[in-house]
Chain A
């Protein structure tokens, strides 16, 4: 059993909204998998289907090789979940909630719980209604991280955390991952994904648009080139992989798909290159390209 999670062609509609529209997702054992996509893309919906809280309309989803809808109770012993909207019981203290969730999931490492409470600087004696947003989030995080679950399902776990706590969180996830646990992490924060994830899946409008390691994805991005040429840059615009070409006398500015970089550079050198600057691709650009509606990749 290689994949902890595998999802194929998952469809889920709410009335007329099609929240998932043929989603594919594979999370391998032991990896930290980033689950990225713009607001309303369907990340939380997919996670809820995987937890057996929502029933999919069609497609398949398996969790530890089992059916997340039918075998929910037994599968949930092996995972811990931090919801996107953490709501606590108004008159239960944070400490009580942590212990309750830990116990209902099947076990809690009390030593680790105390250590996490200290690291996240959480006051476990406060009542649910008196916690700030970030502190509510910490309660859910401590409850999940202190478990001995094989899989952590984290839906935007750091929303509301300050930068200091964000780095504590990253350290914790690295430890979990080091201990061999699998993590599915939905996030909007690129730096977080870059720091933590082995592989990512990008989804938009309920569909997976890109999936792979960050190196793979970088490869899919474009490099920007500024060049000063010895002659007229005829024909460059016609080359495959060249985008947004601006010609200003002998100077050119354009972007080029990394896969075509070699061909395009050869074409430039045949004209003769006097000066050249190139900017490496950033993930940011890749995400923006996927997040924006207009540029649907073919």
Chain B
């Protein structure tokens, strides 16, 4: 492990902007949510009645249960979406400093110096530990400072800290097993989505001890129950599991060759199929696995949400209190419509994530110097960029339609509404498309005009997500909420549709895309450096 310290410092230097940015911003979030709740509902009784109004199955499915109807409990519940982002960010940090580094050949350069072979992994885990301490510490301090219970705040901070460590360790193992950084990131995303879905199914049933929630890493950590009779043993178990996974990663790292995965590569065809021999054919080959992954995800999520919707509205119908609470909030739409609209809003953000990922692929190819040989052959810049951007624009649209069909089918089957449900739900899915396109168009604009900052596309997406999920709670003013294109979408099914905002979003997306592509035609192609 010689050299760990040097590599750790090198990693901190490379991440000197990104790492403080996400750890501090995300770490501050729970505290902000807490102080916002405290000023919205200064009276504990108000908090309790708010909590009661929020305890419906669809919200429980999305955010998890409210463990205790007070300031701390509500904060922990509402911030749970931040917990997911933190897990992903830590995991990606570890992959970035292990597998991605190795892929770019930089590890080899260092490996030949006095750096030990496990130093890379050790230093990446140290960076993750540092991030975990910052996020967990800020979470605990922030919530306590907003007036929540001290022990509970500590438990909440611990939950965030452990979530970081757990996903860092999972990422460390995947970085050894997978064949490349991209695959490793993809599997981490799937693990996180899987643990979210398990917890969702488990919690939606209303049973707080559902085995499904317990086997989900996220659900497991939430069972530390901050602010509600904290249980400490899940924390201890999580710590042991994280340590064990890290140890596995070390063993694997010591055993495998640099740059090799554990799955041996097989030889492929010596000749190319005709379908590969065009920029679009190549983009299809590079993007198709990711696209199929997303489509399967939409189908599963849609089916589940659809079949859970009817159960949720039954639960509300049977509980007059809940119906009353929701009636006060509601716009007259049926409960089922509200659940579907909430679900679609989240799927819409997911679809934007798919679009951002596909658009970033163009920049990724360029930075890896793999655009150069194509552009030096007889391929125009627009043709090359367009072949990747097609996946960024059409991919999420297709995905939303798949989600709509499956959600509608799931709902129609369980609510005996039949195929008619599909049409209504498809509409709800389709209205997400303009906002998704605008998000993608921002990435295209960055790609054309400020190529080095293209990955900020993820930050833009996270910003939209946080605005949508927490903007109202943080009492942001309307103009701030209006910054997110998703604010302008009609709430479907059930709501009113006006074409104007949708037309504007599409027009703006088209304008930004055109500006981005014009910039791309005029700028230098990355030449390393």
Q: Which residue of A lies closest to B379 (CB)?
A: A104
Q: Which B residues touch A72, using CB under 8 A? A: 375, 380
- Which 4 A-B pairs have CB atoms at the shortest separation, nearest pair first? A95-B270, A99-B272, A93-B268, A105-B377
Is there contact, CB below 8 Å, between B377 and A53? no
Is there contact, CB below 8 Å, between B267 and A101? no
Q: Which A residues touch B528, using CB under 8 A? A: 85
Is there contact, CB below 8 Å, between A83 and B277? no
Residues of A within 8 A of B (CB): 14, 44-45, 48, 51-55, 72-74, 76-77, 81, 83, 85, 87-93, 95-96, 99-101, 103-106, 123-127, 129-130, 140, 153
B297 contacts chain A at the CB level, 8 A cutoff: no
Determine chain B's interface SS by DSSP, over half rule: loop
CA distance A93 to B379 in the complex (A): 21
Residues of B within 8 A of A (CB): 179-180, 259, 265, 267-272, 276-279, 282, 285-286, 368-370, 372-380, 522-525, 527-529
Q: Smallest Cβ distance from B321 to chain A, in angstroms?
A: 56
With A54-B525, A124-B270 as known contacts, state yes or no: A76 contacts B276, CB within 8 Å.
no
With A87-B370, A129-B179 as known contacts, state yes or no: A104 contacts B265, CB within 8 Å.
no
Q: Which A residues touch B271, using CB under 8 A? A: 95-96, 99
CA distance A270 to B285 in the complex (A): 79
Q: Which B residues touch A106, using CB under 8 A? A: 377-378
Is there contact, CB below 8 Å, between A76 and B286? no
Q: Which residue of A lies closest to B526 (CB)?
A: A53
Is there contact, CB below 8 Å, between A53 and B179? no
- Name 10 extra pairs, CB < 8 A, besides A88-B370, A93-B267: A53-B524, A54-B527, A81-B376, A95-B268, A101-B377, A105-B378, A106-B377, A127-B265, A127-B267, A130-B265
Is there contact, CB below 8 Å, between B270 and A93? yes
Q: Which residue of A lies closest to B374 (CB)?
A: A104
With A14-B529, A73-B379, A73-B380 as known contacts, state yes or no: A96 contacts B268, CB within 8 Å.
yes
Is there contact, CB below 8 Å, between A54 and B524? yes
CA distance A85 to B367 in the complex (A): 12
Q: Which B residues touch A96, using CB under 8 A? A: 268-269, 271-272, 276
Q: Which B residues touch A95, using CB under 8 A? A: 268-272
Q: Which of B180, B268, B285, B375 has the most CB of A within 10 A?
A: B268
Q: Which A residues touch B369, using CB under 8 A? A: 83, 85, 87
Q: Which B residues touch A153, using CB under 8 A? A: 376
21 contacting pairs across A/B (C-beta < 8 A):
A48-B525, A51-B376, A53-B527, A54-B527, A74-B378, A76-B377, A76-B378, A83-B373, A87-B368, A89-B370, A92-B268, A93-B268, A93-B269, A103-B278, A105-B377, A106-B378, A124-B270, A126-B268, A129-B180, A129-B259, A140-B373
CA distance A223 to B269 in the complex (A): 57
Q: Which A residues touch B180, using CB under 8 A? A: 90, 129
Q: Which of A52, A92, A126 has the most CB of B within 10 A?
A: A92
Q: Which B residues touch A125, using CB under 8 A? A: 267-270
Q: Which A residues touch B285, using CB under 8 A? A: 92
CA distance A223 to B374 in the complex (A): 48
CA distance A91 to B266 in the complex (A): 10
Is there contact, CB below 8 Å, between A103 and B286? no
Q: Smallest Cβ distance from B328 to chain A, in angstroms?
A: 55
Q: Smallest Cβ distance from A177 to chain B, in angstroms?
A: 21
Is there contact, CB below 8 Å, between A129 and B265? yes
Q: Smallest Cβ distance from B7 to chain A, in angstroms?
A: 23
With A90-B180, A99-B272 as known contacts, state yes or no: A104 contacts B267, CB within 8 Å.
no
Q: Which A residues touch B265, using CB under 8 A? A: 126-127, 129-130
CA distance A16 to B380 in the complex (A): 29
Is there contact, CB below 8 Å, between A81 and B525? no
CA distance A74 to B380 in the complex (A): 9
Q: Smallest Cβ distance from A275 to chain B, in angstroms?
A: 51
Q: Smallest Cβ distance from B451 to chain A, in angstroms?
A: 13
Is there contact, CB below 8 Å, between A104 and B527? no
CA distance A95 to B368 in the complex (A): 20
Q: Which B residues touch A93, using CB under 8 A? A: 267-270
Within 8 Å by CB of B373, from A44, A55, A81, lies A81
CA distance A76 to B277 in the complex (A): 17
CA distance A88 to B180 in the complex (A): 14
Is there contact, CB below 8 Å, between B378 and A48? no
Q: Which B residues touch A87, using CB under 8 A? A: 368-370
Q: Smallest Cβ distance from A12 to chain B, in angstroms?
A: 9
Q: Smallest Cβ distance from B136 to chain A, in angstroms?
A: 36
CA distance A205 to B202 in the complex (A): 66
Q: Which residue of A lies closest to B381 (CB)?
A: A72
With A89-B286, A92-B285, A129-B180 as known contacts, state yes or no: A53 contacts B525, CB within 8 Å.
yes
Q: Which B residues touch A48, using CB under 8 A? A: 525, 527
Q: Smallest Cβ distance from B153 to chain A, in angstroms?
A: 46
Is there contact, CB below 8 Å, between B179 and A55? no
Q: Which B residues touch A104, using CB under 8 A? A: 277-279, 374, 377-379
CA distance A83 to B372 in the complex (A): 8
Q: Smallest Cβ distance from B521 to chain A, in angstroms?
A: 10
Q: Which A residues touch B179, using CB under 8 A? A: 90, 129
Is there contact, CB below 8 Å, between A53 and B376? yes
